[in-house]
Structure 1
């Protein structure tokens, strides 16, 4: 039984966001009952759990992780960490994915989160409860035996199921005619199977660029197709091309009329938002491949202030971003942060989307915060009454972006040290040959 006056909160997913949610719920026993975390797999870590398997796991579930064997972070650990739990300072700034998973496992152990997690538990349905008390009915089943369902009642739901597991496949004329190997970056694991091949990669986001650098040493030729300005120096066998407009057999056609034969097509085209346990229309939501709208402050449906979607935003510093979102959510549930009326929340959410579109933003980029993430997190901290992120997080994040733009091949050889809430220093490796320098 839940103690009177204490809210029972369920968390969906035990990746980074879900662990953070459980840690902070458990830290407020005066307001919340112990959290319940449903996790479909048998371990913590979410997308940071690497497996060589692709497609489906032995239990019939889709492979969740998009990790590849040699992935290293594109942000330094000094800005990746949760504000209350630093990475091991002996590690390099840019980490192998296994180090991030070990960090999340340590975080779960340090804050005694595992005892709240129900592993191998699938969430089948989340729906508003009938009756005057409100809340949510959450139906789950065991991953190994999906015939027996259990429904439990909760006062609030925090969705932390991630959005890097359901590949987005663009509609490209003739794609189905391609006779070679066609895959999404979600299925890529290592470069060796592509040795001696001509590989076309669609998309120059972080995955597209990273796979280009991994494949270039082994492939005969790599063609990176994208719509961005030319990227800084890439290996000699890498050709940058316009966006792919059509495929005819093994010939790939590009936007400027160029054509190239390919053995392999890798779609680095991002992922779809997917919440199969929800009935969006019933919640007043519209969920497309690239948007979840309307969400007040990218977090909650205007008419359901006890349902939160943590981690919908993209182009952010993820773990600190989750931290700010979750402390805001819990401040709302505790009553420490008073929300405007449902009508005002609806107007604010719709207005934010209109403003984005009026500024020339594409609908699919609405949740991509980029530079806006800092003001967003600062506002959450102000409203939620918690400490904002220290300015050094933004400074070092932006310095890393600049370093990556200058030399995408070697920026990960740099190492950083945070000196204070404001200052950082470059230490150790410095390909520019300038030695260590202070960050301003």
Structure 2
């Protein structure tokens, strides 16, 4: 049996274990530093360090509901239960789903809970690369090393805050918080809060803060204002360019006082356990050298699951895992040179279309072609077009009616079709 190591038992790691376990000749072993499956979906009210002195992994806040309907979120071979009427579900329901997935495919047998990966290093021979994975048992504080024939990195990328450089921020006397440490709105009652960043978390947290804050200033650099009704105590301003003692200056030269700045500025890709010999670097927010955002072209027996963002995550994980295992077991990959040339060509094409280099892993509407490419390479059926159609419809609805879109309910009605069965507004498909 060939041992496939898996780092992390969040959604990506569970998907990796499920398909490795089902593959002839493979034996998966999953290391998970917490005591349960779920990764970022395991809510904790705590921030900072956990009981073992390690950074808190989850960025989940107390009231969070998904910003995608459950009808597009499920793994292709394991849809969400239809028992729940709502389409936009509470984070605890996603955790229940992942636990059900774990039980259904008997994955607990593969998982070593409370095991923290400390070091990964390659062993290169004429037959290829194997991996030495050193792991600490957090209960006994003892370390052991396992040799793996292949390794899947599934440690997530929503845990290490990306902090922007704000000119003169050392002058600012107010409170600075990253959304990673946001849990609930009561500490912000009666305050003026600048929320920097208007992606999914920035919008959701701003709306929640507006229920208790004196004022919320949603600061972003989108070329146009978000065309949605907002609460009366919430307004859009341009991006923060510098700090004052009591507030901030924005890109149009205006300024405002603020008690708090909430950084909804995303997260860093980090793999602190990888030695330099693994050949993986992070440059301008790009994890290199990854073929198809998955395979380490220097050592193709290492794969990364879940690097792309602004996607339907669980279906994308499924395609990535099955692509990696297909390449591992059955298909001869292109040469490293060819893989790197393909990656560079893809990057240049996206940049020519106006994408910033740092957004290479942000797929958005490109995710559908990406999934199709992986399906073609792996001999898999395509994701039903109903998933794409509903995802795109919800994305447009969210932008127009950010306060209300989560009240809508949907149902997939065919391979390419869906219907809206409840709307919180007059919007219709």
Q: CA deviation at 1:175?
A: 1.6
1:290 aligns with 2:319: no
1:153 aligns with 2:147: yes
The residue correspondences of 1:105-116 to structure 2 (distance < 5 A) are 105-116=99-110
Moved segments of 4+, more than 6 Å: none
Distance 1:288 1:262, change over 3 A: same
Q: Quick one: distance in 1 between partners of 2:384 and 2:248?
A: 47
1:368 aligns with 2:362: yes
**Of 262, 266, 272, which aligns to 1:276?**
272
1:79 aligns with 2:72: yes
Q: Quick one: distance in 1 between partners of 2:283 and 2:177?
A: 22
Q: Quick one: distance in 2 between partners of 1:222 and 1:392?
A: 37
The residue correspondences of 1:192-271 to structure 2 (distance < 5 A) are 192-228=186-222, 229-231=224-226, 232-271=228-267
Q: Is the 8 A contact 1:225 1:240 kept in 2?
A: yes
Q: State the SS of the aligned residue for 2:146.
A: strand
Q: Quick one: distance in 2 between partners of 1:199 and 1:171?
A: 18
Greater strand proportion:
2
The residue correspondences of 1:78-157 to structure 2 (distance < 5 A) are 78-91=71-84, 92-133=86-127, 134-146=129-141, 148-157=142-151
Q: Quick one: distance in 2 between partners of 1:200 and 1:115?
A: 46
Q: Which residue of 2 aligns with 1:3?
A: none
Q: Is the 8 A contact 2:289 2:298 kept in 1?
A: no
1:401 aligns with 2:407: no
Q: CA deviation at 1:430?
A: 4.3
Q: What is the total number of aligned residue pairs between the two structures?
A: 425
Q: Quick one: distance in 2 between partners of 1:145 and 1:195?
A: 43
Q: State the SS of the aligned residue for 1:328.
A: helix
Normalised by the size of structure 2, how large is the TM-score?
0.96
Distance 1:90 1:248, change over 3 A: same
Q: 5+ residue gaps in structure 1?
A: 1-5
Say which is worse superposed, 69-78 or 287-296, in terms of deviation: 287-296
Q: Is the 8 A contact 2:284 2:357 kept in 1?
A: no
Q: Is the 8 A contact 1:123 1:140 kept in 2?
A: yes
**Of 168, 174, 183, which aligns to 1:189?**
183
1:46 aligns with 2:39: yes
Give deviations 1:403-437, integer Å, cap 9, x for gaps. Answer: 11220100011101111212111113442176xxx
Give me the CA root mean square deviation: 1.4
Q: CA deviation at 1:302?
A: 1.4
1:379 aligns with 2:381: no
